[in-house]
């Protein structure tokens, strides 16, 4: 067994009563010292995984291993895991110092040790000098940091973060993304971060698990997931994309919108129906003559860094284009793209 692996899920299923399983036969490994993100829409089971790791709930089937040891039914406080809760779960009646010291006091650690460790944890999250503040005197971002300090003061091997940034405003959220990433590097422990915000996931993670309906759809680095989504769900969930159906005529040749295009994908059966993804930023505005696709502009939004154009081709396919050039509504334009921009995926069930 690879000793870098810190958490291993072996065919874990979690089911409440006789409902559909929240988590359906999931297996994965996580390595120490990495920043993992569990990404998915609400109800996809990401929080369930977190709570299984934390020990708040037990799997219905399957085993969970920490450092290669089976951890089912080990109580939460005996696992080298700590949690930063979504709403921080700070104790409103205690000040910052006592909030951070709570766990240490429970463990009956000596007074000087507590003082030292709490100070250190607060220094880690840049909250020195705030020891005596009451929680309600702290801003959202500061509370967030207190919550993190409270978790890391116990020196866990794994830190679980349950959508910790969702209550913050956009600017603070971006700031905290940097800080969390930085903190993870300094501490060198495993972070498991749950979010439904794909931008957050892409920005922070070493590795992303995209979950849907209790299953892991895809795992990989942010770049892999963004560039090579394995199916329609992942492509749709990560970033904005144009997903249309097409036919794989041959290796490196795909047909959609009644035209054949060169691509770099292979290994599909001849004439297999496939899903095509082209990211909006890979589409380039050009004249009708020079474009590979001929579309009519339906609406234009100014997004700051670029314009977002919504266009339709003659077959009714919608094309979202991100461009620094502007086009007028109703105008006929051409779209150009490179063969590398086309990403072909196996069709996933449904539709």
Task: Pick the stretch among 75-83, 166-174, 203-211, 228-236 that binds other proteins (CB under 8 A).
Answer: 75-83
Check if the beta carbon of residue 123 is closer than 8 Å to that of residue 117: no
Among 65, 102, 252, 307, binds other proteins (CB under 8 A): 102
CA distance 13 to 15: 6
Please give the order of strands across the beta sheet that includes 343-346: 259-262, 253-256, 242-250, 272-278, 343-346
Q: How far is the CB of 106 from other proteins (least distance, A)?
A: 5
Interaction between residue 86 and other proteins (CB under 8 A): yes
Q: Give which of 157, 167, 152 is closest to 117, Cα–Cα.
A: 152
Interaction between residue 82 and other proteins (CB under 8 A): yes
Tell me the site size for other proteins, rule CB under 8 A: 24
Task: Pick the stretch among 6-14, 81-89, 173-181, 320-328 that binds other proteins (CB under 8 A).
Answer: 81-89
Among 13, 34, 54, 172, binds other proteins (CB under 8 A): 54
Q: How far is the CB of 149 from other proteins (least distance, A)?
A: 13
Which residues are CB-contacts of 288 (< 8 A; sequence separation ≥ 6)? 294, 332, 333, 334
Among 3, 19, 20, 136, binds other proteins (CB under 8 A): 136
Interaction between residue 132 and other proteins (CB under 8 A): no
Task: Pick the stretch among 19-27, 99-107, 236-244, 341-349 that binds other proteins (CB under 8 A).
Answer: 99-107
Which residues is 69 bridged to in the sheet?
66
Interaction between residue 133 and other proteins (CB under 8 A): no
Interaction between residue 103 and other proteins (CB under 8 A): yes
| Residues within window 163-202 making contact with other proteins, judged by CB under 8 A | none
Residue 260 burial (CB count, 10 A): 14
Q: Which is nearer to other proteins, 189 or 333 (CB)?
A: 189
CA distance 195 to 47: 9
Interaction between residue 106 and other proteins (CB under 8 A): yes
Interaction between residue 92 and other proteins (CB under 8 A): yes
Interaction between residue 109 and other proteins (CB under 8 A): no
- Strands in the chain per DSSP E: 5-14, 23-31, 35-39, 61-66, 69-70, 81-84, 158-162, 190-195, 207-212, 215-220, 242-250, 253-256, 259-262, 272-278, 284-286, 293-302, 307-313, 318-323, 332-336, 343-346
CA distance 346 to 277: 11
Check if the beta carbon of residue 36 is closer than 8 Å to that of residue 190: yes
CA distance 294 to 313: 6
Task: Pick the stretch among 98-106, 197-205, 232-240, 243-251 that binds other proteins (CB under 8 A).
Answer: 98-106
Q: Which is nearer to other proteins, 55 or 246 (CB)?
A: 55
Q: Which two tokens stand for residue 138?
A: 């702290």
Among 83, 144, 177, 242, binds other proteins (CB under 8 A): 83
Taking each continuous run of H as one helix and of E as one strand, the counts in the chain are 8, 20
> Helix or strand or coil: residue 168?
coil
Q: How far is the CB of 107 from other proteins (least distance, A)?
A: 6
Q: How far is the CB of 77 from other proteins (least distance, A)?
A: 3
CA distance 141 to 131: 16
Task: Pick the stretch among 92-100, 117-125, 278-286, 292-300 that binds other proteins (CB under 8 A).
Answer: 92-100
Among 58, 87, 240, 340, binds other proteins (CB under 8 A): 87
Q: What are the two backbone dihedrals, phi and then psi, of residue 73, each rounded to the nearest 5 degrees?
A: 65, 10
Q: How far is the CB of 62 from other proteins (least distance, A)?
A: 22
Enumerate binding residues for other proteins (CB under 8 A): 54, 56, 75-78, 81-83, 85-87, 89, 91-94, 102-103, 106-107, 136, 150, 154
């Amino acid at each position: 067994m690879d000793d870098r692996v810190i958490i291993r899920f072996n065919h874990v299923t979690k089911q409440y009563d006789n409902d559909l399983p929240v988590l359906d036969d999931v297996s994965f490994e996580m390595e120490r010292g990495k920043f993992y993100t569990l990404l998915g829409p609400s109800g996809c089971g990401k929080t369930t995984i977190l709570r299984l790791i934390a020990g708040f709930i037990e799997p219905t089937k399957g085993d969970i291993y920490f450092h290669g040891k089976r951890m089912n039914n080990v109580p939460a406080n005996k696992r080298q895991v700590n949690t930063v809760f979504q709403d921080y779960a700070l104790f409103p009646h205690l000040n910052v110092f006592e909030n951070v010291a709570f766990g240490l006091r429970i463990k009956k650690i000596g007074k000087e040790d507590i003082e030292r460790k709490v100070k250190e944890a607060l220094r880690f999250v840049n909250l020195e000098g705030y020891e005596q503040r009451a929680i309600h005197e702290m801003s959202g971002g500061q509370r967030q940091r207190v919550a993190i300090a409270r978790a890391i003061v116990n020196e866990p091997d794994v830190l679980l973060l349950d959508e910790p940034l969702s209550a913050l405003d956009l600017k603070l959220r971006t700031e905290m993304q940097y800080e969390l990433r930085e903190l993870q590097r300094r501490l060198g422990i495993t972070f498991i971060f749950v979010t439904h915000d794909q931008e957050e996931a892409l920005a922070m993670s070493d590795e992303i698990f995209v979950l849907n309906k209790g299953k892991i759809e895809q795992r990989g680095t942010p770049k892999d997931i963004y560039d090579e989504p394995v199916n329609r769900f992942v492509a749709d969930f990560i970033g904005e994309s144009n997903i249309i159906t097409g036919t794989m005529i041959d290796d490196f040749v795909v047909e959609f919108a009644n035209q054949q295009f060169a691509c770099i994908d292979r290994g599909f059966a001849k004439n297999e129906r496939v899903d095509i993804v082209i990211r909006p930023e890979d589409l380039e505005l050009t004249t009708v003559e020079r474009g590979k696709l001929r579309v009519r502009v339906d609406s234009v939004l100014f997004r700051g860094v670029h314009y977002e154009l919504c266009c339709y081709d003659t077959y009714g396919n919608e094309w979202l284009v991100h461009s620094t050039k502007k086009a007028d509504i109703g105008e006929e334009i051409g779209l150009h793209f490179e063969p590398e921009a086309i990403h072909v995926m196996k069709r996933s069930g449904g539709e």
